[in-house]
Amino acid sequence: MRSDPKMFVPVARVLHWLLAAMILTMLLVGIGMVASVSARHDWLVGFHKPLGIAILLLVVVRMVVRWRNPPPALPADLPVLQKLAAFASHWLLYLLMLALPLVGWAMLSAGGYPIMLGTSLRLPPIFPVGAVGFAVLRHLHTWLALLLFVTFLAHMAAALYHGLIRRDGVLSSMTWRRDARGTADD
Q: Which residues bind other proteins (CB under 8 A)?
A: 5-6, 27-28, 31-42, 45, 72-77, 111-114, 116, 119-120, 122, 124, 129-132, 134-136, 138-139, 149, 153, 156-157, 160-161, 164-170, 173, 179, 181-182
Q: How do strand 115-116 and strand 122-123 relate by DSSP bridges?
A: antiparallel
Q: What number of chain residues touch ligand HEM (CB under 6 A)? A: 43
Q: How many residues does the chain have?
A: 186
- Round to whole Å and give the CA distance between 130 and 33: 24
Region of 76-84, 125-133, 138-146, 177-185 interacting with ligand HEM (CB under 6 A) = 138-146
Nearest to 129 by CA among 156, 110, 107: 110
How near is the Cβ of 59 to other proteins at its closest, in Å?
21
Nearest to 91 by CA among 143, 151, 139, 150: 151
Given candidates 6, 18, 82, 94, which one binds ligand HEM under the rule CB under 6 A? Answer: 94
How near is the Cβ of 186 to ligand HEM at its closest, in Å?
19
Residue 123 φ/ψ region, left for φ over 0, alpha for ψ in the -120 to 50 degree band, beta for the rest? beta
Question: Pattern of binders to ligand HEM over 60-89, x per CB under 6 A?
Answer: ------x----x--x-----------x---
Number of H helices, E strands in the chain: 4, 2
116 lies in the site for ligand HEM, by CB under 6 A: no
What 3 state SS string does 12-73 have?
HHHHHHHHHHHHHHHHHHHHHHCCCCCHHHHHHHHHHHHHHHHHHHHHHHHHHHHHHCCCCC
* Binding residues for ligand HEM (CB under 6 A): 16, 19-20, 23-24, 26-27, 30-31, 34, 45, 48-49, 52-53, 55, 66, 71, 74, 86, 90, 93-94, 97, 100-101, 104-105, 108, 115, 141-142, 145, 148, 152, 155-156, 159-160, 170-171, 173-174
